Amino acid sequence: MVKRPLPLSKVHALLEPGPVVLLTTAHRGRVDVMTMSWHVPMEFEPPLVGCVVSDRDFSHGLLKASGECVINIPTKDLLDAVVGCGNTSGRDTDKFARFGLTPRPASMVGAPLIDECFANLECRVVDKRLAKAYCFLVLEVVKAWRDPAVKRPSTLHHEGSGTFMVAGERVVTRSRMP
Amino acid sequence: MVKRPLPLSKVHALLEPGPVVLLTTAHRGRVDVMTMSWHVPMEFEPPLVGCVVSDRDFSHGLLKASGECVINIPTKDLLDAVVGCGNTSGRDTDKFARFGLTPRPASMVGAPLIDECFANLECRVVDKRLAKAYCFLVLEVVKAWRDPAVKRPSTLHHEGSGTFMVAGERVVTRSRMP
């Protein structure tokens, strides 16, 4: 995909509708991809994002050690990779190879971008106060990328137990909410 | 709507797909409804939910004073109320009356349930450590209600600037993710 830089002020709108994302992390030659739904915008600009990464996940260690990650947003054509990455562990699986994902170098962090995802958000950990209690981290998005050709992405939204809702119709209102 | 108690273990699946919700609060005779998209599941059971309630919102004061709220989940037939509640203030508007919403008493908190919403989650504030920095609160869901007749809710998902995505098709996979 051909990505363009996305203004940081537009990042919250990518995450606010609640898509499943693929979180990439890297540290000392180890790389992982994790399926994640528990994330939330916390500030518009600079964009902050809160997320829960369980300490049972291999990604947890890489994220803790590196302090960096990339949030990659997939669409429904990547459903098999989304499910696969959520049901395997980076401890014994090269998920990029196994699920046909292509890593690309990020510009500001060590974790890779997933080429097949229409948007990629390079992040750094900025607040760990709730890490011990809930494995909750606050990330700052320092660089964002988007494929401008994907205008109405068919994002996936996990409803639990392996059921996903696919983004449907869009409705434009006169709301003044940002 | 006829609501039934929902097992607390199923609460995360209602919020994980990222629907816009209507947050109700009450304190000393004042009641408010706020449109909110910045929320995240943080634990399965007891269910914990993180959310951002700006200190510019009237609801912020009621939530801070009472330590309680209800997360109500609307569907697309309530789009006008969702937009309206997001663009008015409880300081000078009775949003229940203005947007045709019906308050019902909750069982464990003082804030009302919105009858027209297919699901209602009664919550108490349990962690305020990130309140000062980000207006971020951790809530525990202490009682949950759902209308069992609404099986595939047409939830609304805010994409920013007044554009909403409506929940589309469902896909069932063999994922072992909870």
pLDDT, residue A48, reads 98
Please provide the distance, in angstroms rounded to a whole number, between the alpha carbons at the two ends of chain B. Answer: 28
Quickly count helices (H) and strands (E) in chain A. 5, 12
* Cis peptide bond prior to B17, omega within 30° of 0: no
Question: What are the residues facing A110 on neighbouring strands?
Answer: none
The alpha-carbon gap from B142 to the nearest alpha carbon of chain A, in Å, equals 18
**Nearest Cβ partner for B130 among A12, A129, A157:** A129
Q: Which of A7, A50, A37 is nearest to B19 (CA)?
A: A37
Residue A177: predicted pLDDT: 84
Which two structure tokens, joined as six digits, stand for B46? 């007891």
Give tens-digit pLDDT for A69-116: 999 999 999 999 999 999 999 999 999 999 999 999 999 999 999 999
User: pLDDT, tens digit, for every residue of B119-155?
Assistant: 999 999 999 999 999 999 999 999 999 999 999 999 9
DSSP A72-139: EE-BGGGHHHHHHHHSS-TTT--HHHHTT--EE--SSSSSPEETTSSEEEEEEEEE-TTHHHH-EEEE
A99 is written with which tokens?
């699920």
Q: Tell me the pTM.
A: 0.97
Q: How far is CA B150 from CA A6, A118, B69, B153, in A?
A: 38, 32, 23, 6
How much of chain B, in percent, has pLDDT values that exceed 70? 100
Interface contact B38-A16, CB threshold 8 A? yes
Question: Domain coordinates of chain A in residue numbers?
Answer: 21-166
Give the gap in angstroms from C-alpha B88 to the nearest C-alpha of chain A.
10
Give ipTM to 2 decimals: 0.96
Nearest Cβ partner for A173 among B83, B134, B170: B83
CATH number assigned to the domain covering B21-166: 2.30.110.10
CB contact under 8 A, A48 and B134: yes
d(CA B38, CA B136): 9
Probe site for chain A from B77, B87, B165 (most A CB atoms < 10 A):
B165
Band of residue B177 on the pLDDT scale cut at 50, 70, 90: confident
